[in-house]
Chains A and B, each alone.
Chain A
Amino acid sequence: MSTLPTPAPTVTTSNATFWAATAEGKFLLQRCSSCSTIVWFPRAHCPTCWTETLSTFEASGSGTVYSFTIVRKGRNVYSESAPFVIAYVELAEGPRIMTNIVDCDPESVHIGMKVRMVFHDTGQGNALYRFVPHS
């Protein structure tokens, strides 16, 4: 179990569906109904063709570490958390997303590492998505 803090997101009309789904352990991606582009981060329009009709689908939760850093001195709510890992994970569906790699020795994290998504409850009706090593 991760000991990292779980700050809550700022829920807006354009990301409310996304964050509500995290409470059920689901990570939703948007797909443009016109050009099929997968959209990340959530918004009301497609940033490729600017169509405003997007559908959502659930991501697999599988990914690969694209890059990472071990934070040696955290700040704000993370001030007592170091060392911890911030990473970009490339989802199996394509998007590279900012996250943490948890439940492992930070020194063991490496680019190309296979990871799977977990959810940590914020207590605010949603959950933070993080990743653990995929054995």
Chain B
Amino acid sequence: MTIRGAAYIAGIYEHPGRDLPEKTVWDIHTEVALGALADAGLSMTDVDALFCDGTAGFGVMTLIDHFGLNPTYVDNTETGGSSYLAHVGHAAAAIAAGKCTVALVTLAGKPRSGWQGPSFAPGPESSFEQLWGMAGAPHSYALAAQRHMYEFGTTAEQLAEIKVAASIHAQHNPHAFLPYAVTVEDVVNSPMVSDPLHRLDCCVVTDGGGALVVVSPEVAKKLGKTNAKILGHGEALKHTSNGTIDLTYTGAVFSGPRAFAEAGVSTKDIDYASIYDSFTITVLQTIEDLGFCEKGKGGHFVSDGGLIAPFGTLPFNTDGGGLCNNHPSNRGGITKVIEAVRQLRGEAHPAVQVPNCQIALAHGTGGSLGTRHGSVTLILGQEDA
């Protein structure tokens, strides 16, 4: 059994706010949930499954109490920013198994105006990783970038091309946190945060959230609108592998083939891709690992406008991505799915809408490339895809 065609994404909502000091994370969860349900043409009374990450209080128990739901199926998968793509895959499997018919996925967080996120207990690795000044994602991702540059000759200018493409798209998004175009020179001349990553190699820090509604084919049919069919899902966790970590690749090496196989498509079939962009290096490695180009050739692939919509080789992150638009709760997975659905519906901004977008890919990366992370790949399509 596969989940190909077993479920649809019928509702999407991205909170328009990027700095929300007056709201609690619970307010944001409610707003995005109601927004996505309204987009689907459904209401809270239709929801029989709830999916959220580990940042929401006592997880899904806190959230069902807050919402006033009594779902028949819940999932609290926590793989950082990739969680929400995993939730979609898990929701499709649960729907295929007859466990539920309308699954709600929500994300909310406030890293910009006041962190209300999780404080994870130390793991067995903590005293072997956290005593040397590693304090935040940039340091960890920088280790991966430095090694990739060493092995493959990737340059700062090539990484900058990724930010440039995202920024060109962000100009058309009125909600984008950084709604203006930047140049390669702007990126490489921005302050160094953690060599070789500059400030503009890093994503934005924003409050906000998003939600998705995943439904059974029967529900989708009744809604009678353009829904995104779930074609394939793959997930993988990459870790330090007993002291043998290789920093030049991501878990997309494993999640990608699983998703492509389930969907029955290949890279050449992908019209649009939402690629997780916590940092420019995240995009570069992921594009290679998903097979859009040979390993080590990502720098060439992203140059010369390769990622710029609508006519680049691989139009990506047309909302401006985490690099320019939004990275709510320091987790960009849900916005990756949302923009992929917009593209399939033809609802992206006209300046960046990919003509006749039939098949879209969304990929999430959560955690750290420098230690351990979750990778989840989703492939979505039009009804007849």
Q: Do chains A and B interact in one complex? A: yes
B125-A74 in contact (CB<8A) = no
A72-B194 in contact (CB<8A) = yes
CA distance A47 to B244 in the complex (A): 12
Q: Does A125 have its Cβ within 8 Å of any Cβ on chain B? A: no
How many whole Å from B244's CB to the nearest CB in chain A?
7
Given A7-B131, A37-B242, A74-B133: A111 in contact with B194 (beta carbons within 8 A): no
How many whole Å from B197's CB to the nearest CB in chain A?
8
**Contact with B143, one of A4, A81, A88 (Cβ below 8 angstroms):** A88
**Contact with B133, one of A11, A66, A78 (Cβ below 8 angstroms):** A78
How many whole Å from B134's CB to the nearest CB in chain A?
6
CA distance A39 to B125 in the complex (A): 12
**Which chain A residue has the least Cβ–Cβ distance from B148?**
A67
A88-B127 in contact (CB<8A) = no
A111-B146 in contact (CB<8A) = yes
A96-B244 in contact (CB<8A) = yes
Q: Does A99 have its Cβ within 8 Å of any Cβ on chain B? A: yes
CA distance A110 to B135 in the complex (A): 21
How many whole Å from A127's CB to the nearest CB in chain B?
11
Chain A residues with CB under 8 Å of chain B are 4, 7-12, 14-15, 19, 37-43, 47-48, 66-76, 78, 81, 84, 86-88, 94-100, 111-112, 128, 130
B191-A48 in contact (CB<8A) = no
Q: B102-144: contact bitstring with A at CB < 8 Å (1 yes, 0 no)?
A: 0000000000000000000010111111011111100100111
Which A residues are in CB contact (< 8 Å) with B240? 96
**Contact with A69, one of B126, B128, B143, B244 (Cβ below 8 angstroms):** B143
A88-B124 in contact (CB<8A) = no
A75-B135 in contact (CB<8A) = yes
| 23 A-B pairs (CB sep. < 8 Å) | A9-B128, A11-B127, A15-B127, A19-B127, A37-B242, A41-B243, A43-B124, A67-B147, A67-B247, A68-B146, A69-B142, A69-B194, A69-B197, A70-B192, A71-B133, A72-B191, A72-B192, A86-B134, A88-B143, A95-B242, A95-B244, A98-B134, A99-B132
List the 9 shortest-distance A-B pairs measured between CB atoms, nearest first: A95-B243, A40-B243, A9-B127, A69-B142, A75-B135, A78-B133, A67-B147, A41-B128, A70-B195
B193-A111 in contact (CB<8A) = no
Which B residues are in CB contact (< 8 Å) with A73? 193
**Contact with A4, one of B124, B133, B243 (Cβ below 8 angstroms):** B133
CA distance A100 to B135 in the complex (A): 13
A72-B195 in contact (CB<8A) = yes
B142-A96 in contact (CB<8A) = no
Given A81-B133, A97-B128, A100-B133: A71 in contact with B122 (beta carbons within 8 A): no
Which B residues are in CB contact (< 8 Å) with A99? 132
Which B residues are in CB contact (< 8 Å) with A4? 133
CA distance A128 to B131 in the complex (A): 8
Q: Does B67 have its Cβ within 8 Å of any Cβ on chain A? A: no
A69-B147 in contact (CB<8A) = no
Which B residues are in CB contact (< 8 Å) with A68? 143, 146
How many whole Å from A10's CB to the nearest CB in chain B?
5
B143-A86 in contact (CB<8A) = yes
**Contact with A111, one of B125, B128, B147, B242 (Cβ below 8 angstroms):** B147
Please report which residues of chain B, range 318-355, place their CB below 8 angstroms from some CB of chain A when the two chains form the complex. none
**Contact with A67, one of B125, B131, B143, B243 (Cβ below 8 angstroms):** B143
CA distance A16 to B136 in the complex (A): 27
Q: Does B223 have its Cβ within 8 Å of any Cβ on chain A? A: no
B132-A86 in contact (CB<8A) = yes
CA distance A75 to B134 in the complex (A): 8
Q: Does B152 have its Cβ within 8 Å of any Cβ on chain A? A: no
CA distance A73 to B197 in the complex (A): 12
**Which chain B residue has the least Cβ–Cβ distance from A95?**
B243
